[in-house]
């Protein structure tokens, strides 16, 4: 059974810092690894999707990496801004749209 873990559960950093969010999964037989953003009381917004054959994906200030052999993915946020404050969730796809989610990291960027 696939389990996805995100550590830390919460993170608070000053504006302008670069930061890394961590995601680990127990079963390396995944099709892809996805990162989402969720604002309070809202739905999820897809940020990045890394196929199992890929090592990383980039979008603007965001960079996500995938290491299947170690069961880890990281989301790197460069030059953080207060608008980046949200909960970030990772999810591993193990079958036809059978996404297994982590519990998320609640990120606060302090001005």
34 lines the binding site for other proteins (CB under 8 A): yes
Of the candidates 74, 90, 66, the one whose C-alpha atom is nearest the C-alpha of residue 21 is 74
71 lines the binding site for other proteins (CB under 8 A): no
Interface with other proteins (CB under 8 A), residue from 75, 86, 89, 109:
89
Distance CA 71, CA 65 (A): 11
Interface with other proteins (CB under 8 A), residue from 11, 13, 72, 101:
101
Q: Of 18-26, 66-74, 76-84, 101-109, which part binds other proteins (CB under 8 A)?
A: 101-109
Residues making contact with other proteins (CB under 8 A): 4, 31-32, 34, 36, 41-46, 49, 51-52, 89, 91, 93, 96-104
């Amino acid at each position: 059974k696939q389990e996805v873990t995100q550590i830390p559960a919460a993170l608070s950093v000053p504006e302008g810092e670069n930061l890394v969010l961590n995601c680990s999964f127990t079963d390396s037989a995944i099709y892809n690894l996805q990162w989402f953003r969720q604002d309070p009381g809202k739905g999820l917004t897809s940020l990045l999707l890394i196929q199992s054959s890929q090592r990383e994906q980039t979008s603007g200030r965001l960079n996500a990496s995938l290491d299947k052999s170690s069961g880890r993915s990281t989301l790197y946020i460069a030059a953080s801004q207060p608008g980046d404050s949200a909960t970030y969730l990772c999810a591993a796809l193990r079958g036809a749209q059978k996404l297994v989610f982590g519990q998320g990291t609640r990120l606060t960027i302090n001005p």
